[in-house]
């Protein structure tokens, strides 16, 4: 009889951390052939249109960046929190908090000078997301409430707050739909490249990658967050204020997710609707894991995800394979990455009896 | 245990490599029925690795294992257990919230259909307890037990699975002297009925006392095998270390100065919210080592944690150089120049998944020297950590090496380097050499003496009386949360200290 056994293995060298995500993506793309064929698609044509749709033309390429910007911000938000072992599953709610703040400010800031409107909205959206994430951080540090549960459940609280406001004080006068009035023109993100939707938010997201990388790598705060993440007891023993580290980590994490909400509102929708996010906050968790919690890794995994999402539309139009295939591929990418990560710590041995 | 007997377990030409380290190099090892065989060696000699292979926890790269004459392919501990091999590791594998009985039956066939058959399990357990003198309440929850009692549960777990071979990895490291005696009695009664015990240790006295045979490992190789009746401590020490042990420590005469640590009426609760320190008073002076003897569990942990700033006492005062730190705030103690060596360096002292450098800078990473406006100055940090690695001869691949790759002695050197780098006014060292080999122990002892000569006041909390007598200027004993007495080392007798340790004053 042949049996398989899982045993622990020695730590892998550093280059493995780069190779493994790439191998996971390549494997995902190869295995995507199965659902594509099952859906009756022509294999090579489907792959071709998947990539053509995402990267083939100037407009498509820029659209891929448009899609990547919220994914990048929520991915960074989750990665930043996870590094300090603050299990933020609540990027979705924090994104909505950011979008909500941007809406309130965006419809009401007509009275101040135009050049001040966007900075106020960006800061306001960041703070709204940050404060929404600070609630579970305080519950965790003061009352030992499990952060996985509290961050997740606060997503639903925020969805219902948003619903109540969109059916109430924020509802566009005269509308029977749950939607707000449009934000003023000064509150809209400028488009940076002509004949596209390549907007300011993409630049903000790319800047965030640099900032988070810098915080992690170079600053006292980044060092402290890492210390708290690996051994909170030793960090406390060594004089680090672990409560403050967790709180600030949560605020920055929530703030990044809030910025994703600001971007969706001020660059694409211009008014708050219930479907402002198709689950970017949850995708952020997958993207953070696929990117190995490293900001540059998150950048590449967010781009990979948006290639799949954007490309799937073209593929669907040209080959008849449904766009849902994009979600199947995303799910596969996570599963494969987790399996690969498992193999970095364990190995399978075949035993013959 | 005549060697003409057939071995019950036999390992031949075992080689095991971890990345670039060869932990076991072509080792042959035999275990005979009815013997206690000690595996002796310094930390990092490969003792635990070899036994982890016999227990199926690691797979060897080369070599063969025979158990009871049959070739054994062990790919997991359960393969070893099913062949009658049990192991009590240094870190226990118990479920704290479950009872002793529940812990013991986990993973065995204890059921009748869907239901637990606790009754017959209890009968079997009680029989084993009686036979081997392992008294633990079967219904006590494991978290309420002392470390010594938890070890008994681990041994019972193995006996319950009918093992013929029991591996004990440094079992006495966590035990008080009286508990050690009990353990030895248990082991002796086990071998009397034909079972075999492997006793991993680096304590020479114990090995001579308990083992029938000793196998000495050094640098991943077997260097010698001896019957304990045909060897002595001195020979074993030489075999283990590969050089003659240094002479006894040289204590320079320094006159103690003004008090640097003053504790008055200190009262603190333990984790179970019971009073563990009941109004404790003591003074440590500059240029003085105060040795605190006593059996663990008498308030040592609570006292050291109160002095580390990780436990908030409910009453009393602590003064360092005349200044009162904020109680329960580690950073306040660090600022007043308290060097803190915790007994639990892996859980509390060090961040095993970070680099050596990241551990070295933990307490001063935020000082103006190492950061400006929140940005770290890596040039100075690298210089600082490389200096410390050199000054303390820490054996590591470099400052960027992950701390978990270091041996026990080197981990403690990292701990000392970090805590002593700021030239502390007071050093509180709790069990600083527990689990260390002779070479590392000597090094730590010398460092502690140097600190005293430099001008620090040292509070040395230890269960090791030899260590207390060798290093201290004054000896005190902690018993049930109070100080039993205080005597200069020149006037102290072991009898007196022993009486104090058992709560007798006269």
**Minimal CA separation from B375 to chain A, in Å:** 4
Res A343 pLDDT > 90? no
Nearest to B465 by CA among B505, B437, B503, B493: B493
**B360 to chain A: closest CA residue:** A238
Q: How far apart are CA B54 and CA B77, in angstroms?
A: 9
B147/A contact by beta carbon, under 8 A? no
Nearest to B59 by CA among A134, A78, A29, A10: A10
Tell me which of A269-273, A282-286, A333-337, B477-481 is least confident: A333-337
**Is A239–B334 a contact, with Cβ atoms under 8 angstroms apart?**
yes
Nearest to B261 by CA among B426, B422, B419, B423: B426
**Is A238–B363 a contact, with Cβ atoms under 8 angstroms apart?**
yes
User: Which of A3, A223, A224, A344 to mutate: most B Cβ within 10 Å?
Assistant: A223
Q: How far apart are CA B377 and CA B367, in angstroms?
A: 10
Mean pLDDT value across residues A320-348: 84
Cβ neighbours for B367, distance < 8 A, ≥ 6 positions apart = none
Mean pLDDT value across residues A265-290: 94
Quick: pLDDT tens for B34-51. Answer: 999 999 887 678 899 999
**Is A238–B59 a contact, with Cβ atoms under 8 angstroms apart?**
no
Quick: pLDDT tens for B331-364. Answer: 999 999 999 999 989 999 999 999 999 999 999 9
What is the separation, in whole angstroms, between the first and last Cα of chain A? 5
Task: List C-alpha distances in Å: B378 to A217, B66, B308, B368, B400.
Answer: 10, 53, 28, 13, 12
Chain B positions touching A349 (Cβ under 8 A) are 59, 75
The DSSP string of A14-38 is: TTHHHHHHHHHHHHHHHHTHHHHHH
A228/B contact by beta carbon, under 8 A? no
Q: What pLDDT was estimated at residue B144?
A: 85
**Is B331–A241 a contact, with Cβ atoms under 8 angstroms apart?**
yes
Nearest to A232 by CA among A144, A346, A296, A298: A144
Cross-strand bridge partners of residue A74: none
Q: What pLDDT was estimated at residue A82?
A: 96
* Residue range(s) defining the domain that contains residue A262: 2-352
Nearest to B298 by CA among B482, B429, B150: B482
Look at chain B and count its residues.
506
Q: Do B470 and B293 meet the contact criterion of CB atoms below 8 Å apart?
A: no
User: Which of B326, B362, B363, B368 to mutate: most A Cβ within 10 Å?
Assistant: B362
Instruction: For CATH 3.40.50.300, list the domain ranges present in chain B.
Output: 9-241, 259-348+408-501
Domain CATH code at residue A173:
1.10.3470
Q: What pLDDT was estimated at residue B27?
A: 94
**Minimal CA separation from B207 to chain A, in Å:** 32
Across the A:B interface, residue pairs with CB atoms under 8 Å apart total 74
Cβ neighbours for B118, distance < 8 A, ≥ 6 positions apart = B101, B105, B110
**Is B351–A219 a contact, with Cβ atoms under 8 angstroms apart?**
no
**Rounded to 5 degrees, what are φ and ψ at A149?**
-70, -50
Instruction: Look at chain A and report how many structural domains it folds into.
Output: 1
Q: How far apart are CA B453 and CA B271, in angstroms?
A: 36
Q: How far apart are CA B417 and CA B434, in angstroms?
A: 17
Tokens representing B376? 């770290």
Q: How far apart are CA A118 and CA A201, in angstroms?
A: 11
> Virtual CA dihedral for A310, A316, A322, A326, nearest 10 degrees?
-20
CATH: 3.40.190.10, 3.40.50.300, 3.40.50.450, 3.40.50.12140. Which one for B9-241? 3.40.50.300
**Minimal CA separation from A221 to chain B, in Å:** 7
**Is A221–B75 a contact, with Cβ atoms under 8 angstroms apart?**
no
Q: What pLDDT was estimated at residue B484?
A: 92
Q: Do B449 and B251 meet the contact criterion of CB atoms below 8 Å apart?
A: yes
Q: How far apart are CA A92 and CA B467, in angstroms?
A: 58
Q: What percent of chain B has pLDDT over 70?
A: 95
- B310, B358, B374: residue with CB nearest A219: B374
Quick: pLDDT tens for B124-164. Answer: 999 999 988 888 999 999 988 888 889 999 999 999 998 99
**B306 to chain A: closest CA residue:** A237
Q: Do B263 and B327 meet the contact criterion of CB atoms below 8 Å apart?
A: no
A5/B contact by beta carbon, under 8 A? yes
In this structure, the number of other CB atoms found within 10 A of the CB of residue B245 comes to 15
CA B237 to chain centre: 19
Cβ neighbours for B28, distance < 8 A, ≥ 6 positions apart = B11, B12, B13, B14, B222
Look at chain A and count its residues.
353
Quick: pLDDT tens for B366-411. Answer: 999 999 999 999 999 999 999 999 999 998 889 999 998 888 889 9
Chain A positions touching B366 (Cβ under 8 A) are 220
Nearest to A344 by CA among A67, A119, A14, A73: A14
User: Which of A231, A236, A243, A347 to mutate: most B Cβ within 10 Å?
Assistant: A231
Q: How far apart are CA B296 and CA B300, in angstroms?
A: 6
Tokens representing B346? 């892996």
Cross-strand bridge partners of residue B285: B259
The DSSP string of A185-213 is: GGGSPPB-STTS--BHHHHHHHHHHHHHH
Q: How many CA atoms lie within 13 A of B27 on its CB side?
A: 36
From the number of C-beta atoms within 10 Å of its C-beta (0-12, 13-18, 19+), residue B480 rates as: middle
Helix (H) or strand (E) holding B190: helix B177-192
Task: List C-alpha distances in Å: A313 to A50, A62, A326, B9.
Answer: 8, 15, 9, 65
- A7, A220, A237: residue with CB nearest B75: A7
**B16 to chain A: closest CA residue:** A10
Mean of the per-residue pLDDT values of chain A: 92
Place B67 in a pLDDT band, splitting at 50, 70 and 90: very high
Mean pLDDT value across residues B471-496: 91
**Is B402–A239 a contact, with Cβ atoms under 8 angstroms apart?**
no
Tell me which of A12-26, B4-18, B262-276, B399-413 is least confident: A12-26
Chain B positions touching A227 (Cβ under 8 A) are 351, 354, 358, 362
Res A7 pLDDT > 70? no
Quick: pLDDT tens for A149-202. Answer: 999 999 999 999 999 999 999 999 998 899 999 999 999 999 999 899 999 999
B310/A contact by beta carbon, under 8 A? yes
**A3 to chain B: closest CA residue:** B75
Q: Tell which wins on pLDDT, A2 or B343.
A: B343
Res B1 pLDDT > 50? no
Q: How far apart are CA A88 and CA A281, in angstroms?
A: 10
Res B245 pLDDT > 60? no
The DSSP string of B344-386 is: -IIIII--TTSBHHHHHTTTTTTSTTTEETTEE-HHHHHHHHH
For chain B, positions 57-76, list CB contacts with chain A under 8 A.
Answer: 59, 73, 75-76
Nearest to B217 by CA among B8, B391, B53: B53
Q: Tell which wins on pLDDT, B328 or A345.
A: B328
- A226, A237, A241: residue with CB nearest B354: A226
Quick: pLDDT tens for B190-199. Answer: 999 899 999 9
Res A350 pLDDT > 80? no
Q: Residue B134: left (phi > 0), alpha (psi -120 to 50), or beta?
A: beta
Class of domain B259-348+408-501 (CATH, top level): alpha beta
Q: What pLDDT was estimated at residue B374?
A: 94
**Minimal CA separation from A114 to chain B, in Å:** 33
The single-letter DSSP state of residue B75 is S
- B19, B310, B374: residue with CB nearest A236: B310
**Is A220–B347 a contact, with Cβ atoms under 8 angstroms apart?**
no
- B18, B19, B362: residue with CB nearest A227: B362
Mean pLDDT value across residues B8-22: 85
A52/B contact by beta carbon, under 8 A? no
Q: Residue-wise over B167-176: b if at least 16 C-beta within 10 A, else e?
A: bbbbbbbbbb
Q: What pLDDT was estimated at residue B247?
A: 42
Quick: pLDDT tens for B433-462. Answer: 887 877 888 899 999 999 999 999 999 999
């Amino acid at each position: 009889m042949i049996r398989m056994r899982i045993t622990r293995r020695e730590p892998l060298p550093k280059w493995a951390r780069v190779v493994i995500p790439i191998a996971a993506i390549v494997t995902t793309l190869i295995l995507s052939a199965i659902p594509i064929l099952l859906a009756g698609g022509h294999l090579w044509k489907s792959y071709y249109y998947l990539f053509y749709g995402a990267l083939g033309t100037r407009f498509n390429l820029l659209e891929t960046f448009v899609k990547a910007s919220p994914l990048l911000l929520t991915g960074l938000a989750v990665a930043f929190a996870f590094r300090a072992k603050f299990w933020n599953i609540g990027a979705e709610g924090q994104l909505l908090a950011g979008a909500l703040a941007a809406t309130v400010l965006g419809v009401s800031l007509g009275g101040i000078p135009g050049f001040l409107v966007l900075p106020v909205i960006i800061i306001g959206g960041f703070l709204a997301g940050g404060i929404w994430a600070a609630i579970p951080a305080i519950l965790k540090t003061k009352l030992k409430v499990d952060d996985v549960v509290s961050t997740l459940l606060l997503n639903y609280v925020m969805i219902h707050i948003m619903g109540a406001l969109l059916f109430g004080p924020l509802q566009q006068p005269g509308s029977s739909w749950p939607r707000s009035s449009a934000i003023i023109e000064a509150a809209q993100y400028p488009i940076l490249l002509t004949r596209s939707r390549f907007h300011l938010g993409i630049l903000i997201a790319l800047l965030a990658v640099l900032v988070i990388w810098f915080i992690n790598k170079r600053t006292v705060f980044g060092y402290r967050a890492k210390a708290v993440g690996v051994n909170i007891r030793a960090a406390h023993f060594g004089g680090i204020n672990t409560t403050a580290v967790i709180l600030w980590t949560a605020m920055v994490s929530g703030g990044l997710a809030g910025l994703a909400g600001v971007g969706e509102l001020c660059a694409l929708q211009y008014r708050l609707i219930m479907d402002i996010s198709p689950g970017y906050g949850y995708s952020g968790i997958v993207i953070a894991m696929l990117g190995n919690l490293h900001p540059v890794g998150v950048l590449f995994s967010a781009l990979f995800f948006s290639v799949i999402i954007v490309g799937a539309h073209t593929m669907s139009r040209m080959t008849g394979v449904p766009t849902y295939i994009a979600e199947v591929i995303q799910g596969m990418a996570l599963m494969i990455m987790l399996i690969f990560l498992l193999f970095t710590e364990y190995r399978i041995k075949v035993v013959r009896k | 245990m005549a060697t003409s007997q057939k071995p019950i377990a036999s390992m031949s030409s075992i080689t095991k490599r971890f990345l670039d380290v060869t932990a076991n190099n072509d080792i042959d090892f035999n275990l005979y029925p009815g013997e206690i065989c000690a595996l002796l060696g310094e930390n990092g000699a490969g003792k635990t690795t070899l036994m982890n292979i016999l227990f199926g926890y690691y797979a060897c790269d080369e070599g063969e294992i025979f158990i009871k004459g049959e070739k054994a392919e062990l790919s997991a501990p359960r393969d070893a257990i099913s062949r009658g091999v049990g192991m009590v590791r240094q870190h226990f594998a118990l479920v704290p919230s479950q009872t002793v009985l529940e812990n013991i039956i986990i993973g065995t066939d204890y059921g009748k259909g869907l239901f637990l058959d606790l009754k017959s399990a209890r009968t079997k357990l009680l029989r084993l307890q009686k036979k081997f003198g392992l008294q633990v309440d079967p219904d006590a929850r494991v978290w309420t037990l002392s470390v010594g009692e938890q070890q008994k549960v681990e041994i019972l777990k193995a006996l319950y699975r009918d093992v013929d071979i029991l591996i004990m990895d440094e079992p006495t490291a966590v035990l008080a002297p009286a508990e050690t005696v009990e353990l030895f009695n248990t082991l002796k009664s086990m071998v009397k009925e034909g079972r075999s015990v492997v006793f991993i240790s680096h304590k020479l006295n114990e090995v001579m006392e308990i083992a029938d045979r000793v196998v000495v490992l050094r640098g991943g190789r077997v260097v010698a095998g001896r019957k304990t009746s045909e060897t002595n401590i001195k020979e074993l020490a030489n075999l283990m270390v590969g050089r003659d042990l240094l002479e006894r420590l040289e204590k320079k005469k320094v006159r103690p100065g003004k008090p640097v640590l003053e504790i008055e009426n200190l009262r603190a609760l333990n984790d179970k919210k019971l009073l563990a320190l009941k109004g404790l008073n003591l003074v440590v002076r500059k240029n003085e080592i105060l040795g605190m003897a006593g059996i663990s569990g008498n308030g040592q942990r609570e006292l050291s944690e109160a002095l580390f700033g990780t436990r908030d006492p409910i009453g009393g005062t602590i003064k360092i150089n005349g200044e009162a730190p904020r109680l329960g705030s580690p950073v306040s103690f660090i600022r007043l120049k308290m060097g803190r060596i915790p007994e639990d360096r892996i859980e509390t002292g060090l961040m095993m998944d970070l680099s050596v450098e990241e551990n070295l800078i933990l307490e001063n990473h935020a000082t103006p020297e190492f950061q400006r406006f929140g940005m770290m100055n890596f040039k100075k940090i690298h210089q600082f950590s490389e200096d410390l690695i050199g000054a303390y001869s820490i054996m590591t691949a470099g400052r960027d090496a992950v701390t978990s790759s270091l041996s026990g002695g080197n981990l403690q050197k990292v701990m000392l380097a970090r805590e002593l780098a700021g030239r502390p006014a007071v050093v509180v060292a709790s069990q600083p050499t527990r689990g260390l080999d002779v070479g590392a122990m000597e090094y730590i002892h010398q460092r502690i003496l140097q600190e005293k000569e430099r001008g620090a006041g040292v509070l040395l909390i230890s269960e090791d009386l030899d260590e207390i007598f060798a290093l201290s200027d004054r000896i005190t004993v902690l018993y049930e949360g109070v100080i039993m007495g205080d005597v200069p080392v020149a006037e102290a007798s072991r009898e007196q200290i022993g009486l104090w340790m058992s709560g007798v004053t006269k």
